[in-house]
Structure 1
């Protein structure tokens, strides 16, 4: 078996290697972690993924441990704090979208019990159907962001090549991974 082509050429200390081996494509069950992944994907737009991975801990700290409830309650002081935090991406559209999206997830939790339940109830869908659904509920969620979020959390296939040993691990953890 060979690893995905993207990580074959990387040094072992590259954060992408750890992400590939232990996070990318693995199913998430915790709503706050799902929200955290969405935050990272939104902030990656226009930047390299390694930039986001290097700032991941800073994002977690800046956004209250990815607590949906806390981020949903952020006001102007929090916006200002985030826009002045050099440890994260300081983009007003991304900050505003993150706060809005947390508020939207709270509404989905009220209706479906959890963000994960909402995702599960809509699975499987094509990428195009997912994008349309996400755009109905969230901000700053174009096709690539939605695709990467869903691949990285196991809702769409494509995170790993079939010859990659991680592909087999994920398939064992999440047989429904191949649907979508």
Structure 2
């Protein structure tokens, strides 16, 4: 992602995301769900398009409240398909609703989405690699291919590569990780 470290600083949308979110650990369910939903919606589009529509997504998907989205029915699907403030794609909308229900079940099986991620972060005593994560995500969620899964996990620090090693943001990420422990 070294290109991102070079191009994002100073950009009105990419700059703040690069400096304060990308690669930083997150624990809050709504934040994790937002990141997954945004990565899914980025498929086939630019990340800038998604960032421009982020406020629209937040409003359309009830602030990324998992319980609200899990309860969506046909009227909500129709509302979302008509909402020009978001990316109107039936498969992506259906995936958001399905994935919200999956996250709800993770509360019972693992204590939540963050705990589920942590429980699967290692395989055979080593950090799980991207290919293994992709298989797990494809079994667990909808609309989570290799690029979506990889970017989602890099954006949270579960996979390396969000920033080049000499990017000044790496110090902030290290402090955030230490504070999370």
TM beyond 0.5: yes
List runs of 5+ in structure 1 lacking aligned partners. Answer: 176-180
1:62 aligns with 60
Match of 1:155 among 155, 158, 161: 158
2:124 aligns with none
Measured after TM superposition, the shift of residue 172 of structure 1 is 3.0
Query: In 2 relative to 1, CA 9–36 (structure 1 residues): closer, same or farther, beyond 3 Å?
Result: closer
Q: What does residue range 1-180 of structure 1 map to in structure 2 within 5 Å? A: 4-9=2-7, 12-123=10-121, 124-174=127-177
Q: Does structure 2 conserve the Cα–Cα contact (< 8 Å) formed by 1:72 and 1:99? A: yes
Question: For 1:57-97, what per-residue CA distance to the aligned partner results, in whole angstroms no more than 9, with x for missing partners?
Answer: 11011001000111000000000000000000000000001
Measured after TM superposition, the shift of residue 109 of structure 1 is 1.3
| Mean Cα deviation higher: 123-132 or 143-152 | 123-132
Measured after TM superposition, the shift of residue 174 of structure 1 is 2.1
Count of matched residue positions in the alignment of Structure 1 and Structure 2? 173
Rounded Cα–Cα distance in structure 1 between residues aligned with 2:131 and 2:36: 17
Rounded Cα–Cα distance in structure 2 between residues aligned with 1:131 and 1:159: 17
List runs of 5+ in structure 2 lacking aligned partners. Answer: 122-126
Query: In 2 relative to 1, CA 102–20 (structure 1 residues): closer, same or farther, beyond 3 Å?
Result: same
Q: Does structure 2 conserve the Cα–Cα contact (< 8 Å) formed by 1:147 and 1:156? A: yes
Q: Does structure 1 conserve the Cα–Cα contact (< 8 Å) formed by 2:9 and 2:19? A: no
TM-score normalised per structure 2:
0.91
* Runs of 4+ with >6 A deviation: none
TM-score normalised per structure 1:
0.91
SS at the partner of 1:174? Answer: helix
